[in-house]
Amino acid sequence: MCQLLGMNCNVPTDIVFSLTGFQQRGGLTDEHADGWGIAFFEGKGCRAFLDPEPAAHSPLADFVRRYPIRSLNVIAHIRKATRGPVGLENTHPFVRELWGRYWIFAHNGTLDGYAPPPGARYRAVGSTDSEAAFCELLNTLCLRFPDGAAEDGGVGDAGVEEEVAAWASRLSALGAFNFLLSDGERLFAHCSTKLAYIERCAPFTKARLIDSDLEVDFSAVTTPQDRVAVIATAPLTDNEQWVTLPAGQVAVFNQGRRV
Amino acid sequence: MCQLLGMNCNVPTDIVFSLTGFQQRGGLTDEHADGWGIAFFEGKGCRAFLDPEPAAHSPLADFVRRYPIRSLNVIAHIRKATRGPVGLENTHPFVRELWGRYWIFAHNGTLDGYAPPPGARYRAVGSTDSEAAFCELLNTLCLRFPDGAAEDGGVGDAGVEEEVAAWASRLSALGAFNFLLSDGERLFAHCSTKLAYIERCAPFTKARLIDSDLEVDFSAVTTPQDRVAVIATAPLTDNEQWVTLPAGQVAVFNQGRRV
């Protein structure tokens, strides 16, 4: 099964600590060796680093870990191919533009017999069920809210959350559908079988990675106002209280806290 | 003025040699210090590396130069900001999906008084005239050929070229509109004020960079069947015959040759 990692913050934060443990799962401490990717929002802009090579041995992964990008919303994914061959076009996260903003999406699980409606505006480039599902959501959103962007989040907030939840519930009937989704402000996390999160805020403490011999003292690198939510398939640290998301729930994170 | 670099080949080729000279222009041998980016097609997949930092001092640029990605179509851009502030969302190349394939676009020049039609399907995320122009082209293409992808290039070839030429001609009336555009197969190059290209094929010879003290013997790294077209704002080598594109012309490259 693939691995997901997400971060949502109230101040631009680097994800180097979490990523260090997470990347070990791509071929070293776990078997997810069919590529990996990470996408960062920086303002309205978005950078995705994608690699069809195993994360644990990827020069690109090393580069990203050493080049701390500060971001409010990050999604990373390590792939264990189940639908669609290993290849760049099948590497998560997927990125599309809707309403003049980028959306990013990564999925963990397999949907059985999923056939997205043909001929729509957003179409999958690769052959994963995941990208097709992401396109279906965007097609639904732009049909329901054609002028979404014009209302500057007005339609968005409740309406989009409703549609995301309905889509998540519909597709979960076909199989495991754990996902992370972000529009650059909010981060949506859906647990179908396995997903946990932690909200870090003052007073910050030390955290110790499970997959790597590394500890960080967050009190030394934060201010009392900082809030950071980290969401992952499985907890990344062994000395903090992670919250397991109940199956069937879409959690929405904004400004580093679950809303 | 910005700098453009494109490559179109018949076998996956790395762009390291051309990029080495090109990147010197981003703050060292020229003044284009407001960010840079490069996008590679690999099969149907696409990777864009974007950096709002000057190319000549960018760790990401160093990384890309040392990590040779083999690609049939590449577009790179070094930015001198004229419309829209320096920032990731205004960094070329821009990427969108149309008909289930990625399209990439980079522009050199400034359009005066350009106001794209509002409310359309593709919308700019940043504030450059370039991204807005790219969105206008994609909106035009998907309105004229709503099922483009279904016909597997059938509508595409002639119809798309016609639309690209009409759009290029229309927008050129507003200012300098040199651009490179690719759908992963073809690379379109439009010269409005400055653009040159070279087609390399057997018998391959040595080439020497203008901007960097580097020479490569292509005969040692190619096979007789290889064909590589390189397109750039200004010639990158001083011992080869570059062809200057006439103003107002859209050149189409496919399989490493101009068609």
Please judge whether A87 and B45 are an interchain contact, meaning their C-beta atoms are less than 8 angstroms apart.
yes
* Average pLDDT of span A57-80: 87
Q: Which of A59, A88, A100 sits opposite B125 (nearest CB)?
A: A100
A152 pLDDT above the threshold of 60: no
Find out whether A114 and A39 touch, Cβ atoms under 8 Å: no
Please judge whether B97 and A125 are an interchain contact, meaning their C-beta atoms are less than 8 angstroms apart.
yes
Q: Which of B89, B91, B100 sits opposite A125 (nearest CB)?
A: B100
* Average pLDDT of span B111-139: 92
- What pLDDT does A28 receive? 61
In order, the DSSP letters of chain B are --EEEEEEEEEEE--HHHHHHHHHTBTTSSB--S-EEEEEEETTEEEEEEESS-GGG-HHHHHHHHS---EEEEEEEE---SSS-SSGGGPSPEEEEETTEEEEEEEES-BTT--PPSS-SS--SSS-HHHHHHHHHHHHHHHH-TTGGGGTTTTIIIIIHHHHHHHHHHHHTTB--EEEEE-SS-EEEEESS--EEEEEESSP-EEEBSSSS-EEEGGGS--TT-EEEEEESS-SBSSS-PEEPPTTEEEEEETTEE-
pLDDT digits over A8-33, tens only?
999 999 988 888 888 777 666 666 67
Whole-angstrom distance, CA of residue A194 vs CA of residue A109: 10
B102 pLDDT above the threshold of 90: yes
Q: Token match 């079988």: residue?
A: A193
Q: Token match 């400034």: residue?
A: B110
Give the per-residue SS3 of A37-68: EEEEEECCEEEEEEECCCHHHCHHHHHHHHCC
Task: Give how far the C-alpha of residue B121 lies from the chain's centroid of Cα atoms, to the nearest Å.
Answer: 23
Which residue of A71, A125, A127, A142 to mutate against B (max B Cβ within 10 Å)? A125
Residues of A in contact with B48 (CB under 8 A): 47-48
Measured CA to CA in angstroms, residue A7 lies from A88, A133, A182, A234, B7 at distances of 23, 22, 10, 14, 36
- What pLDDT does B31 receive? 61
* Average pLDDT of span B68-91: 89
Q: Token match 């990208």: residue?
A: A131
> Amino acid letter at B41?
F
- What pLDDT does B58 receive? 79
The whole-angstrom distance between A134's CA and the closest CA on chain B is 13
Residue A151: strand, helix, or coil: helix
The whole-angstrom distance between A45's CA and the closest CA on chain B is 4
Find out whether A208 and A215 touch, Cβ atoms under 8 Å: yes
Please judge whether B45 and A100 are an interchain contact, meaning their C-beta atoms are less than 8 angstroms apart.
no
Report percent pLDDT > 90 for chain B.
64
* Average pLDDT of span B90-104: 96
Single out the residue of B28, B30, B43 nearest to residue B3, CA to CA.
B30
Q: Which residues of A are catalytic?
A: 2
Please state, rounded to an integer, the average pLDDT across all residues of chain A.
89
Find the closest chain A residue to B139 by CA distance: A121
pLDDT digits over A212-240, tens only?
888 889 988 889 999 999 999 999 999 99
Which residue of B42, B44, B105, B131 to mutate against A (max A Cβ within 10 Å)? B44
Residue A248 — very low, low, confident or very high, per pLDDT cuts 50/70/90?
very high
Residue A1 — very low, low, confident or very high, per pLDDT cuts 50/70/90?
low
* Average pLDDT of span A36-43: 94
The pTM (predicted TM-score) of the whole model is: 0.94
Please judge whether A142 and B121 are an interchain contact, meaning their C-beta atoms are less than 8 angstroms apart.
yes
Please judge whether A125 and B45 are an interchain contact, meaning their C-beta atoms are less than 8 angstroms apart.
yes
* Average pLDDT of span A149-161: 62
Residue B154 — very low, low, confident or very high, per pLDDT cuts 50/70/90?
very low
Cα separation of the two ends of chain B: 28
Find the closest chain A residue to B47 by CA distance: A50
B224 pLDDT above the threshold of 70: yes
Q: What is the value of ipTM here, to two decimals?
A: 0.92
Please judge whether B123 and A142 are an interchain contact, meaning their C-beta atoms are less than 8 angstroms apart.
no
B150 pLDDT above the threshold of 70: no
B255 compared with B28, residue with greater pLDDT: B255
Find the closest chain B residue to A47 by CA distance: B50
B82 compared with B78, residue with greater pLDDT: B78
